[in-house]
Amino acid sequence: MVKNIKSLVGLMVVLLVVLAAFLILRSTISADSKSQKPGKLYGTLIDSKTKKAIVNSKVEIKALSTGAIINTPVTKKGTYSIKIAPGSYTVKATASGYLNASANAVVKAKKDTKANVILAKEQAGSIQGSVSYSNSQSIIISQIQIYQVSKANIYNIYPVNGKFSIGSLKPGLYDVKAITFNPKQQQVKHSINVIDGKATVANFIFKKEELGSISGKVTWANGSPHPYSNVDIYQGPGSKVQRIVTDANGNFTIQNLKAGIYDVKAKSYQVQSKTEHGVRVNSGVSTKVNFVFKKDQGGLSGSVKWDDNSVINGSMVEIWQQGNPVGTYKKFYVSNGLYEFDYLASGYYDVKVSTNSSVRQSKIEHGVYVDGEKSSDNIVTKDFVFKK
């Protein structure tokens, strides 16, 4: 019997231990459940100057323990409110025309926690700078293009005396491109940070390319100048770089040429032309090229009349050689019944005269020889008579 009593006592002890453990576990679960009850996080988005609520805004609440983000609606009065588990949070607010702002909050179970966020209005920033050569010389003619990163071009401006300034820029990252034109070069500065209300500096420095030039004079064989003739510069077959006309003294200068090999062609108004091949231009140096033309001395003149000896005005006289017109300017419109061509080279010419009367008539005189080697008073005369 004693043995049975001992067994019963032992069983009761075990039951008491189990009961105690159950009560302790229940108490722990109850306390833990109580600690996880949500609290309330609320607040207002406020303008830093006017102290008024900001509408049309957004709020993100980030749990610092997990990094989870909750997008929270904002009312028309600029307020937000959310039931949320206890913990530490960051409230981030954004609104159009304002700088982003945030506030920290610690939420406790079954408690209301207020976290207002104060936002300051954006102030436009600017980008300013200069465009110059490495020797500090300003580049007078250039262009600045402004791009907002990952967006299209938003500004094109032309610096004045190498200086530029672009204002009214929202804070953010911008790409700025500088372009020079003579010679054409460009540089880009990426991700220039425009800060609220401040000026960001972006200077561009280009290596100055030393350019060369070709200058010279076009004259006749007797040394007299050949004014107003064309001088063309080529680099490669048919690749004209530039054309210039000689001045009244036959002088010419072609500037801003990159170092290299060029062909230079001069053409006189008498349909003569000469080309200097393989002219080398060096950086910072002017290369001399002169042209001398032989001045043809031949001449051709005459009269255009009706058969009653009255003059025919306004008729056209053309000179041809081997079936081709000798330049479009070898035409003469008769005045006072007379025509005259000078500075003709030696050779045989066809002379064609066309009247401008109501009944158009024309005549051609073939094989008229002109001696261009003799003096200018050696003028061949060829008269034309038309039946009236």
Domain ranges for the chain, please list them.
Answer: 39-119, 125-206, 212-293, 298-386
User: Which single residue is written with the structure tokens 């001992």?
Assistant: 6
pLDDT at 71: 94
Residue 5, helix vs strand vs coil: helix
Band (85; pLDDT cuts 50, 70, 90): very high
Could you tell me whether strands 379-381 and 298-306 are parallel, antiparallel, or unpaired per DSSP bridges? parallel
Tokens of 358: 């109501």
pLDDT at 342: 75
Please calculate the CA angle 260-267-242 and round it to the nearest 5 degrees: 40
Q: Which of 9-18, 132-141, 286-295 has the lowest mean pLDDT?
A: 9-18
CATH 2.60.40.10 assigned to domain 298-386? The reply is yes
Would the pLDDT of 327 be above 60?
no
Task: Please spell the DSSP secondary structure of 7-61, one letter per residue.
Answer: HHHHHHHHHHHHHHHHHHHHHHHHHHHHHTS-EEEEEEEEETTT--B--SEEEEE
Domain 39-119 sits in CATH at 2.60.40.1120
Cα→Cα distances 246→13, 218, 252, 352, Å: 126, 8, 5, 33
Q: Cα–Cα distance between 76 and 54 in angstroms, integer?
A: 9
Cα→Cα distances 162→140, 141, 183, Å: 5, 7, 15
- Cβ-based neighbours of 316, under 8 Å, separated by 6 or more: 331, 332, 333, 334, 353, 354, 356
Q: Cα–Cα distance between 229 and 246 in angstroms, integer?
A: 5
**pTM for the structure as a whole:** 0.41
Q: Is 17 exposed, middle or buried (0-12, 13-18, 19+ CB in 10 A)?
A: exposed
pLDDT at 104: 96
Asked if residue 145 lies in contact with residue 155, where contact means CB atoms within 8 angstroms, the answer is: yes
Residue 345 half-sphere exposure, CB side, CA atoms within 13 Å? Answer: 12
Fold match flag (125-206 vs 298-386): yes
Q: Cα–Cα distance between 331 and 344 in angstroms, integer?
A: 13
Give 243's strand partners. Answer: 232
Tell me the mean pLDDT in the region 234-247: 87
Cα→Cα distances 132→123, 160, 263, 285, 294, Å: 30, 12, 33, 22, 48
Q: Cα–Cα distance between 344 and 349 in angstroms, integer?
A: 10
Per-residue pLDDT tens over the stretch 345-366 = 788 889 999 988 677 899 999 9
Q: Cα–Cα distance between 88 and 41 in angstroms, integer?
A: 11
Highest mean pLDDT among 112-116, 206-210, 324-328: 112-116
Q: Which residue has the higher pLDDT, 10 or 52?
A: 52
pLDDT at 339: 86
Which of these, 327, 320, 369, lies nearest to 346 by C-alpha position?
369
Tell me the mean pLDDT in the region 100-127: 93
- CATH H-level superfamily of 212-293: Carboxypeptidase-like, regulatory domain (2.60.40.1120)
Would the pLDDT of 256 be above 60?
yes
CATH class for the region spanning 125-206: mainly beta
